[in-house]
Amino acid sequence: MSPPSVDDNDSLSPTNSRGDDDENSQHPRKRQRVRLSCLECRRRKLSCDRGYPCQRCLKSGTPDRCTYETKSGVVLNASSGVPPAFAQLDSRRNGELAMGGTKETDMSLVREAAKDHDRIRRLELEVAQLKTQLTRQAMSSFDGSTVAGTNSPHTQKDESTDTPANDPCANTHQMEKCWHQYSDGGANSELRFFRGKEFRTRYFGPHNATMAFIELTGLCPFMKETADEWLKPVKAHDRKDRKKRKEDRDKFYAQPDPRLEALLPPKEQVDALVEVYIDQFEQMHRIIHIPTFRREYSEFWENPAESRYAAFTALVLAIIAVANCIHTHESMRFTGMISNAQTTAEKYIKAVEDWQDKQSVKHRKLIHYQIACLLYLGKRVNTVKKKRFWTNSGALIQDGISVGLHREPSHMSGKISVYNQEMRRRIWATVQEFDMQASFDHGLPTLVSQLHYDVQPPRNLDDEDFDEDTTQLPPSKHGKEYTFSSYQNLARQSLPLRMELSRLLCGPPGEIDYDQVIRYTNDITHEIDSLPSWEHNNNNTHGGKRPLLAYTLLHVQLRQYIIPLHQPFLKLRKSNAKYQYSEIIYYNAARDIVLLHDKLYEQGIRCLNFLREDTLTTAVNLCSVTMLQPRGSTNMIMINSQHTVKLLEKCLLMKEDRLLRTGNNEPWGYSIMCSSLGLLEAHLGTKTTEQAKASSAERFVNLHYKLLANQEPPVSSQQSELSKIPGLEVPERPKSVTPFSFQGYPSSHNTVDGLLPQPLPWMSSSMDPQFVSEIFLSSTAHPAAPTRSLLHIKLDLRQVIPKSHNGPFRPPPLAAAASFVSAAPIQARAVIDHDAVVGFAETVPSGTVGALYLKYKPYLKVVNGCVPFPAVDAAGNTGGGLATSGSSNGGCSSSTGQVYARGGSYNGAYAIMYSYYMPKDSPSSGLGHRHDWENTVVWLSAASDSATVLGVAYDTKTSGISWTDTTHPRVGYQSIWPVNHQMIFTSDQGGQQPLIAWESLTDAARTALENTDFGSANVPMKEANFNSNLGKAAL
């Protein structure tokens, strides 16, 4: 049917209308109403929104079918016609002709308008199609649909086909549950694909081969139909018995592993190691969900060994490998350079790693990624293959990317539970921080800085706030409220800045100017200032929150970047005064890092010291910046030089503690620290060059000598089966530990007959027995107090001290070494049984001070554990303490005891410190440590008879106090398992012990208390500790 001509419209003129009315006045003709709905909606009898095209045609995938009827009866198609808005053109055109317009002019206008309308219509149609695709993309994200599916043959049916059942990918056997679309949104959206669910996911970028399923319209249904019609009848479409393979895989996963089971220590020891791990490491790197783990851990021990599934056994072994060296064992022994605890931890790591390698990469679960993180953590703590730390952390990042851990899991619809979504965030945050720190330590770029990620940070929640059945996570707590996840939540805030600094520091040299350095320093300072300052609980309670640990790591990982930023400008200070700022900020950053670590160390938290090399790097940093200052200078750095020396000594103590527990095959690190301290002392003039060399060598060599007494004798492979203490097994082939010859050692040192057994076969035959006796005495005095007194070397000094520019280093002969060691000789003091020490009779100075000592002497109630024993006798012999085996008061339940008193003024008040010594601090067998010192401080207004009591403090806490006879405070000594013993206030009256004043001790006894190493315990009233302890106990 041809469109009507212009003349045909004359019937609509007013004249003709009046004529018709006259002729048909009896039956007036009704004017037909214009149909406003599109023809497609009218045909389907559906309401239409009169869009062009309408929404119903868009949703059904048929926008080209959306057509409208104009007033003149012309049907306009949405893809090529004129929209209804231009339908009035006909009436305008008719009006022009009626008023005398020419037909040629009108047709030229129509042709021009139609040309523009066609172009506009094509553009509108393209926009409508793009809107359709984006709408489908938003509605079907991660549900298996694809953008290309909008134009598939299934969408061309008359009925609406916008259902998952008709999606081509949804109908494909291989793809129906696995391919998911990911869009970043916005104009620059990009496709990403996920396969699987929970932790069994695979992530693919936009340029992989699977794009064929998206780009080729109809490929999925074509493959499905072909497989069903041609391949399935002959059973050629799938040769994989998926069901059997899944059953075999599940069976293998549930089976126990005899090799792993054989490595498990007794439950009591595993319990202690697991608590150490949870108490320290889980407050930094969130790897396990603690309530879930505790439930499964309880079930693990309830089941017999033959019914435990191997994955959880591997998880437990990986955890105790992390904590084995940090936990204080009853007796720490060494074979060569390596402690037996470290050897056992390395054995655990190797066994779990072998088991992990046999697992299917395709079908891994959450526990497999937890084990992978724990293995890396165990290697760092135990210094296993440290040159591979960077490559190993990079491998963890690559594994995380391959499963999509770097993308926000909540976008994956219902494929991942809420619990696993949060665990994915935590695992990704853990491996991210692993890689960032390894990058900084090695000075190599991090993979994270080159990666686009959109995963949200872990929420600031405690593990008790959600579990596996949670359907909606609670909102994240405020940053000022500390939780076990606070570190991961807050570390994400500074991550962009740290990644930018990593790219800058690992980039081409010379590309950073000083203005950038100042700007980055300000950015770092701003990030530090934005961190919350939680109230640090100094009570070392078991299982409690340790905000100081997260606080320290958050600060250290930011301050560490200040040092390499300013390092290139330190030596420019002499030529330009503006670089003095770099010296000061460099020094302050290194100093603050040491002080933060030292505060943790004072509380017995060692995990951060084992994970990082800050003690070595900051010792070198402090030494280098101080030695750049001219002698006699009065600038800030030189004025604080003695404080700097003390900081270096703190670094050495922390390094020694770590080496004592793990051992080390690379003594150069500790050698550098000893030499740095010697160089600094020589530069400051506190020691001559020769004295500084002697002091460095003495510290280095003396620790090696003490190592000899802690060596395990070599045993044959048959004898090695006799080792029954898990974690302390002896390797079959120990390394040599005697690099020096001792024939020339002087014999002027004192010896103690009867204390040294006959020469052992593993000792060097050339060793002077007189010298060995001294080593034996100094080392066996505290065999179970492995804290700050041991470095193990097996190399000649020529191998650990680099060559100088003037020629090779020539170590002095041992006679010369003896000459400089004799400048500060090791005094041989007798260490006798704890119950053989004869205490002092009650003795105090005459006068007011002595009277005050006796007036305020406390009553001590021993709730559990050892009673007080004398620590030293008049001759200077000290008690050797007790091992932590047996009951908490085994071998120490009865004694006359001794209480030591010392007074002093502090901040205008007078304090009397009462100290007690116990041979061990052991809540139960295997826990605690040898030796314990506790104290109570009574604060008086003055050292006079009329003084009033201001308060009483125990340890470093002040509180109310119960009194007896007006002046004697009641205190208690108690352990709440498994926490070590501590002083408490009590209303129960205990006993009193003979009091000996510090001033009334013999010189030998006072010297012994000053110099004796009591391991984990410190004499609270000796000169080095007295004033600082008063400061901690001040009211």
> What distance in Å separates the CA atoms of residue 87 and residue 74, rounded to the nearest whole number?
9
* 898 within some domain: yes
- Under the banding of pLDDT at 50, 70 and 90, the label for residue 806 is very low
Sign of CA pseudo-dihedral 541, 546, 547, 552: positive
* 367 within some domain: no
Weakest mean pLDDT among 234-238, 591-595, 659-663, 747-751: 747-751
pLDDT at 161 over 50: no
Same domain, 844 and 943: yes
- Taking residues 565-579, report their average pLDDT: 89
* 850 within some domain: yes
- Under the banding of pLDDT at 50, 70 and 90, the label for residue 256 is confident
Whether 694 contacts 679, CB under 8 Å: no
Q: Return contacts of 109-118, CB within 8 angstroms, 24+ apart.
A: 113/86, 113/89, 114/82, 117/82, 117/83, 117/86, 118/80
Weakest mean pLDDT among 191-205, 342-356, 512-526, 752-766: 752-766
* 401 within some domain: no
Whether 263 contacts 351, CB under 8 Å: yes
**End-of-domain residue from the set 129, 159, 187:** 129
Whether 838 contacts 870, CB under 8 Å: yes
* 945 within some domain: yes
pLDDT at 659: 85
pLDDT at 83 over 60: no
pLDDT tens digit string along 644-686? 999 999 999 999 888 888 876 667 888 899 999 999 999 999 9
pLDDT tens digit string along 685-726? 999 999 999 888 888 877 776 666 667 665 444 444 444 444
Alpha-helical regions (H) of 752-824: 769-780, 797-800, 814-821
pLDDT at 221: 80
Which residue bears the tokens 């074509």?
A: 222
**End-of-domain residue from the set 74, 105, 129:** 129
Same domain, 73 and 162: no
- Taking residues 761-770, report their average pLDDT: 38
Q: How many domains does the chain have?
A: 3
Residue, of 81 and 945, whose pLDDT is higher: 945
Q: What is the share, in percent, of the chain residues with pLDDT greater than 70? A: 69
Alpha-helical regions (H) of 667-742: 668-684, 689-709
Instruction: Tell me the range of 712-726, 839-853, 955-969 where mean pLDDT is highest.
Output: 839-853
pLDDT tens digit string along 526-562? 999 999 988 755 444 445 788 999 999 999 999 999 9
Same domain, 212 and 71: no
> What distance in Å separates the CA atoms of residue 46 and residue 56, rounded to the nearest whole number?
9
pLDDT tens digit string along 2-30? 444 444 444 334 444 444 444 444 555 66
**Of 562, 488, 578, 481, nearest to 528 (Cα)?**
562
The DSSP line for 657-679 is HHHHHHB-S-THHHHHHHHHHHH
Helix (H, G, I), strand (E, B) or coil at 180: strand
Same domain, 167 and 94: no
Q: Read off the DSSP letter of residue 868.
A: P
Q: Which domain holds residue 43?
A: 34-129
- Angle (nearest 5°) at CA 858 between 860 and 871: 65
pLDDT at 883 over 60: yes
Weakest mean pLDDT among 335-344, 483-492, 660-669, 991-1000: 660-669
Whether 536 contacts 551, CB under 8 Å: yes
Same domain, 113 and 168: no
Whether 923 contacts 980, CB under 8 Å: yes
Whether 253 contacts 366, CB under 8 Å: no
**End-of-domain residue from the set 178, 213, 231:** 231
Same domain, 845 and 905: yes
pTM tops 0.75, yes or no: no
* 185 within some domain: yes
pLDDT at 236: 55
Tokens representing 168? Answer: 């081509």
> What distance in Å separates the CA atoms of residue 158 and residue 332, rounded to the nearest whole number?
82
> What distance in Å separates the CA atoms of residue 238 and residue 480, rounded to the nearest whole number?
57
- Under the banding of pLDDT at 50, 70 and 90, the label for residue 65 is confident
Q: What share of the chain is helix, strand, coil (3-state, %, to 5)?
A: 50, 10, 40
Which residue bears the tokens 């220590």?
A: 265
Weakest mean pLDDT among 130-144, 232-246, 462-476, 759-773: 759-773
Return the H-helix or E-strand segment holding 608. helix 607-611
Residue, of 108 and 1033, whose pLDDT is higher: 1033
Whether 1012 contacts 916, CB under 8 Å: no
> What distance in Å separates the CA atoms of residue 191 and residue 1021, rounded to the nearest whole number?
69
Same domain, 887 and 1026: yes
- Under the banding of pLDDT at 50, 70 and 90, the label for residue 155 is very low
Where are the extended beta strands (E) located within 165-269?
A: 180-183, 191-197, 200-204
Instruction: Tell me the range of 826-830, 834-838, 995-999 where mean pLDDT is highest.
Output: 995-999
pLDDT at 29: 60
* 962 within some domain: yes
> What single-letter amino acid sits at 177?
K
The pairing of strands 909-921 and 899-906 is: antiparallel
* 861 within some domain: yes
Which residue bears the tokens 């527990």?
A: 661
User: Distance from CA of residue 389 to its chain's centroid?
Assistant: 15
Question: Which residues, including other chains, have CB under 8 Å from residue 30's CB and lie 6 or more apart?
Answer: none
Whether 716 contacts 328, CB under 8 Å: no
Same domain, 867 and 889: yes
Strands of the 200-204 sheet, one edge to the other? 180-183, 191-197, 200-204
Helix (H, G, I), strand (E, B) or coil at 618: helix
Q: How far is CA 881 from CA 809, 871, 981, in A?
A: 43, 9, 15
- Angle (nearest 5°) at CA 274 between 268 and 280: 140
> What distance in Å separates the CA atoms of residue 78 and residue 68, rounded to the nearest whole number?
8
How many Cβ atoms are within 10 Å of 644's Cβ, its own excluded? 23
Sign of CA pseudo-dihedral 488, 494, 500, 506: negative
Same domain, 175 and 112: no
- Taking residues 180-194, report their average pLDDT: 43
Same domain, 895 and 985: yes
pLDDT at 967: 81
Residue, of 234 and 1001, whose pLDDT is higher: 1001
User: What residues pair up with 75 in beta bridges, in sequence order?
Assistant: 69
pLDDT tens digit string along 288-320? 999 999 999 999 998 887 778 899 999 999 999
Where are the extended beta strands (E) located within 890-945?
A: 899-906, 909-921, 929-940
Same domain, 867 and 975: yes
Q: What is the share, in percent, of the chain residues with pLDDT greater than 90? A: 39
Weakest mean pLDDT among 150-164, 326-340, 636-650, 664-678: 150-164
**Of 252, 272, 261, nearest to 319 (Cα)?**
272
> What distance in Å separates the CA atoms of residue 476 and residue 485, rounded to the nearest whole number?
10
> What distance in Å separates the CA atoms of residue 250 and residue 311, rounded to the nearest whole number?
12
> What distance in Å separates the CA atoms of residue 839 and residue 577, rounded to the nearest whole number?
63
pLDDT, mean over the chain: 76
Same domain, 63 and 200: no
> What distance in Å separates the CA atoms of residue 201 and residue 72, rounded to the nearest whole number?
60
Helix (H, G, I), strand (E, B) or coil at 836: helix
Instruction: Tell me the range of 639-653, 752-766, 802-816, 818-832 where mean pLDDT is highest.
Output: 639-653
CA atoms within 13 A on the CB side of 187: 0
pLDDT at 361: 82
In this structure, the chain runs to a length of 1035
How many Cβ atoms are within 10 Å of 985's Cβ, its own excluded? 17
pLDDT at 147: 33
> What distance in Å separates the CA atoms of residue 219 and residue 194, rounded to the nearest whole number?
19
How many Cβ atoms are within 10 Å of 995's Cβ, its own excluded? 20
Q: Read off the DSSP letter of residue 991.
A: B
Whether 840 contacts 868, CB under 8 Å: no
Whether 840 contacts 1001, CB under 8 Å: yes
